[in-house]
Structure 1
Amino acid sequence: MSTSEPPHLPDGLEEGDLLDADDAAEEIAKDDDQPMDEDFDDLDEEEEIQLQNDSVAHFDAHTDSIFCIAQHPTKPSIIITGGGDDVAYIFDASVPQAISAPGGERQSLAPLQKLDGHTDSVNASTFTLPQGKYVVTAGLDGKLRAWKNDDGSGKRWTYLAEASEVQEINWVAASPNPEHENVVALGANDGSVWVYQINADDQGSPLTIVQAYYLHTASCTAGAWTPDGNLLATVSEDGSLYVWDVFVTGQAVVTCTAGDARFEVEGGLYSVACTSSLVAVGGAGGHIRVVGLPQPADQSKKNAKGAGASRQPASSAGQLLAALQAQADGVETLSFSSPPLNILAAGSVDGSIALFDTAHRFALRRHIKEAHEDYAVVKVDFVRNPQRGGWLLTSVGMDGVVRRWDVRGGTTAAGQGFLQEWRGHRGEGEGGGILGFVQGGGGSRIVTAGDDGIALVFQADIA
């Protein structure tokens, strides 16, 4: 795309309000180990590096790339993966004491259950909230299939129902709203957004459509719920952002499209993340836009006026708060830290991670230019662990490496925030990067979804 002109800013904002010169970026080149001597005759040494495997367990039942991975909300060792072989598997990522065969080769973790019924790649899955009572798989065949946990263990599942309203499903996301349990949203290649409630007791309609939206004019590429699960933000290749009040008005409460030159991102939007007051979207050319959200009304007003008053406009609701561009290629992934830290992390196709301070006019605090060398950063996610105050960030990329960072300003960890890395997947053009990961349960266990068709379990010491 053309980058000859800087992003347009909201009325009343100066460029310095977004990236203050006093808050100059700390541009960091990752301090890798010293490269090997260029002695390519030593093939044994090169092969040893290629075969480095830091995982403590693996799952290899898939026969094609693993496109998606999700984790049970109350039993974090229970994992679901879906792949290009048109199936999903549920397995237990707990590491047994001994999983080696007599000859010394490590055995794969065994699947608990195979979830089939799709006729094309399974590229999205999630457990429902809050208890993980159901799990859904979604595919490029347009099917949404739901399964019910039989005994509360997370290990035994029974097929429940299927919905097929679209040609292809791009993503699914479970709502954390405690008043509307077992609700999932999905985005489709035709731009539509669907919200379903799952209820096995409703034999006539175990998958019930709560809402369906059709305002995006191109593929709906990503979606995310606010932490309270009341609002759903979705983005599209057409460069639009809509925030839907799913359960009260059923309407869009925030609308931002490419028709607004200040918001426009040529090439479309591909990632989204929410706090209770902000939504950040990432797109082509390294562009990020940050928009304000409506705020929950005062509880007394809610009680007096009823549920319809559960949200009220804030002064910044729907307003463009920042237009950022620190990276050179598409922003594939975004993650907000937990309070008291105020950081937005962005991972880019250019291999870098950018950290923005949301409490100080979204100043660029650090640009880790070679976070994953020249390979795309596929996902960044903050560790939800009170002992670490939310300042640990995990990232994976198409280089096949998992890395963890300390994002606090002024940290002395490795001089730049780099803490540790784990290897085991093929990468670096060898046919297998990492396409996703989960790290729930405090961040001590990371489970990856590999383009090489293998899920690896890494033990991460966060004490």
Structure 2
Amino acid sequence: MESESESGAAADTPPLETLSFHGDEEIIEVVELDPGPPDPDDLAQEMEDVDFEEEEEEEGNEEGWVLEPQEGVVGSMEGPDDSEVTFALHSASVFCVSLDPKTNTLAVTGGEDDKAFVWRLSDGELLFECAGHKDSVTCAGFSHDSTLVATGDMSGLLKVWQVDTKEEVWSFEAGDLEWMEWHPRAPVLLAGTADGNTWMWKVPNGDCKTFQGPNCPATCGRVLPDGESSSRKRAVVGYEDGTIRIWDLKQGNSIHVLKGTEGHQGPLTCVATNQDGSLILTGSVDCQAKLVSATTGKVVGVFRPETVASQPNLGEGEESESNSVESLGFCSVMPLAAVGYLDGTLAIYDLSTQTLRHQCQHQSGIVQLLWEAGTAVVYTCSLDGIVRLWDARTGRLLTDYRGHTAEILDFALSKDASLVVTTSGDHKAKVFCVQRPDR
């Protein structure tokens, strides 16, 4: 049973090197990221070749809360709860979650209640509220060094807080927000909006660049890692018209544009890159996943699972069954890619032969997938409220975790893969301890 926590207890935050859970008093070692070169300020400085303009800051506030005991929520998925911690402060669906990359001891969640919270994974204790949003918070994330946390709502209001002081340090109002992401090695924030623009800011000084796409929403985007194949700072952005653009973040121009038959035949839904940034995977409502060379800008593979058949010609008044690519990603240790579909299909592809290796079926649509670092294990969350672990080598289900009473809307995985943090339509975020016999 979870005990109630007073709001003032957040000030007595224990050391961040370990996490202790109530259930079995297990101590989980947290693997810290190697900061490595280059210096973040140098990276940010290299992105100053386009005119910048300064933006005004807005002040935020903080509110405390009391951790609620874990209770059942009325719904159609009542059952066992495998979670160790439940965060219950949101009063509506929780749309997004991100973990601090340096220690993996803090989470930020955002929801339909126009609120975002930074809280501790070990006991669900609130650190502070990211206050001041005026619409559903759909994007949230920590900077590369965990010193800053950014939140963005659907109306396009973005805010950044200093984690240690809990103070708002930057704010900006863009167009309706589609996606948001921190640069992986610099205090630089990127976002895509419904007017087709991709924005890039240096935080907290607010220096700004825009990358103008086609006259339609920039639906997804990702900063490309700096691999041996390129010294340029690049990002890939997908658009509602099926176009894919690879941008040079330093020069402010598009390096490659894929459209027409090279692009997708419907809006892009997701994009992923491999470890060195040489390959890109894009997904769309056209049910195709395309493998693109980031160097040449050419499509080098197209993937579509065998069970996702083209819709037959429909008579008047008939509706087609909708399906789309919802999430995708690269395995870090084998030439494999995973693609998750709205119809519940998880497809594992062999990149070396460009063939379908396994198809794993879920009871309902897949929302997101993540690969475990250093293994061939892929995690999925779905609309049935369950997190599943799959062995991509065999296509076998390893285990699953339950506890939500509504669909899972987002999840995050700790660097050492010992924790899964989920958010749901049941107004809750949950922390699960991952235990596997082969670990």
TM-score bracket, shorter-length normalisation: 0.7 to 0.9
Cα 1:163–1:355 shift into 2, 3 Å: same
* Matches of 1:90 and 1:149, distance apart in 2: 9
Name the SS for the 2:421 alignment partner.
strand
State which of 154, 162, 165 in structure 2 corresponds to 1:148.
162
Task: Work out the CA distance in 1 between the residues paired with 2:234 and 2:365.
Answer: 30
Counterpart among 161, 169, 182 of residue 174 in structure 1 = 182
Asked if structure 2 preserves the Cα contact closer than 8 Å seen for 1:393 and 1:406, the reply is yes
Q: Is the aligned partner of 1:397 residue 2:382?
A: yes
Counterpart AA for 2:424: G
Question: Counting helix residues as a fraction of each chain, which structure ranks higher?
Answer: 1
Q: Superposition pairs for residues 56-455 of structure 1, below 5 Å?
A: 56-95=84-123, 109-129=124-144, 131-150=145-164, 156-166=165-175, 168-177=176-185, 181-199=186-204, 206-209=205-208, 211-228=209-226, 230-247=233-250, 249-257=251-259, 260-261=260-261, 263-275=262-274, 276-294=277-295, 317-326=296-305, 328=308, 329-338=323-332, 340-360=333-353, 362-368=354-360, 370=361, 372-373=362-363, 375-384=364-373, 389-408=374-393, 411=394, 416-426=395-405, 432-455=406-429
CA contact (8 A) 2:218 2:239 kept: yes
Maintained 8 Å contact 1:133/1:182? no
- Return the letter of the residue paired with 2:284: G
Q: CA deviation at 1:444?
A: 0.6
In structure 2, distance between residues paired with 1:434 and 1:216: 32
1:226-261 Cα distance to aligned partner (Å, 9 max, x none): 2229221111111010111112x221112111xx32
> Partner of 2:358: helix, strand, or coil?
strand
The 2-side partners of 1:74 and 1:341 are apart by 26
**Which deviations, in whole Å up to 9, do the C-alpha atoms of 1:284-337 show, x marking residues without a partner?**
13211111112xxxxxxxxxxxxxxxxxxxxxx111111221163200111111
Q: Is the 8 A contact 1:289 1:322 kept in 2?
A: yes
- Deviation by residue 1:96-151 (Cα, 9 ceiling, x = unmatched): xxxxxxxxxxxxx231111111111110011111x11211100112111111123x
Letter in 1 for 2:294: L
- Letter of the 2:339 partner, please give it: A
Aligned mates of 2:352, 2:120 — CA distance in 1: 40
What's 1:29 paired with? Answer: none
Q: Report deviation, 1:196.
A: 1.1
Output the amino acid matched with 1:402.
Answer: V
TM-score (norm. length: structure 1):
0.71
Residue pair 2:420, 2:434 contacting (<8 A) in 1 also: yes
Are the aligned partners of 1:139 and 1:170 in contact in 2 as well (CA < 8 Å)?
A: no
SS at match of 1:285: coil
In the TM superposition, what is the alpha-carbon distance from 1:342 to its structure 2 partner?
1.3
In structure 1, runs of 5+ residues without a counterpart are 1-46, 96-108, 151-155, 200-205, 295-316, 427-431
Report the Cα offset of residue 217 of structure 1. Answer: 2.4
Measured at CA, do residues 217 and 461 of structure 1 come closer, stay the same or move farther in structure 2, by a change above 3 Å? same
Residue 264 of structure 1: how far off its partner (Å): 4.2
Which residue type is aligned with residue 283 of structure 1? Answer: S
* Letter paired with 1:162: S
CA distance in structure 2 between the aligned counterparts of 1:176 and 1:197, rounded to whole angstroms = 13
- Kept after mapping to 1: 8 A contact 2:77/2:385: no
The alpha-carbon distance between structure 1 residues 325 and 49, as it changes in their structure 2 partners (threshold 3 A), is closer
Question: Counterpart amino acid of 1:93?
Answer: L
Q: CA distance change for structure 1 residues 405 and 214 in 2, over 3 Å: closer, same or farther? A: same
1:26-54: CA deviation from partner (whole Å, max 9, x where unpaired)? xxxxxxxxxxxxxxxxxxxxx99822111
Q: What SS is found at the alignment partner of 1:341? A: coil
**1:174–1:183 Cα contact (<8 Å) kept:** yes
Q: Distance in 2 between matches of 1:57 and 1:164?
A: 34
Partner SS state of residue 286, structure 1? coil
Q: Note the alpha carbon deviations across 1:2-35, whole angstroms, 9 max, x for none.
A: xxxxxxxxxxxxxxxxxxxxxxxxxxxxxxxxxx
Aligned sequence identity (%): 27
Shift of 1:72: 0.3
Task: Detail structure 1 runs of 4+ shifted over 2 Å in the superposition.
Answer: 47-51, 227-230, 263-267
Equivalent residue, structure 1, for 2:27: none
> How many Å apart are 1:189 and its aligned residue?
1.4
CA distance in 2, matches of 1:321, 1:146: 38
- Checking the alignment, whether the CA contact within 8 Å between 2:379 and 2:389 is kept in structure 1 is yes
Aligned partners of 2:77 and 2:404 also within 8 Å = no
Where does structure 2 lack aligned partners over 5 or more consecutive residues?
Answer: 1-74, 227-231, 309-322
Matched residue SS, 1:461? coil
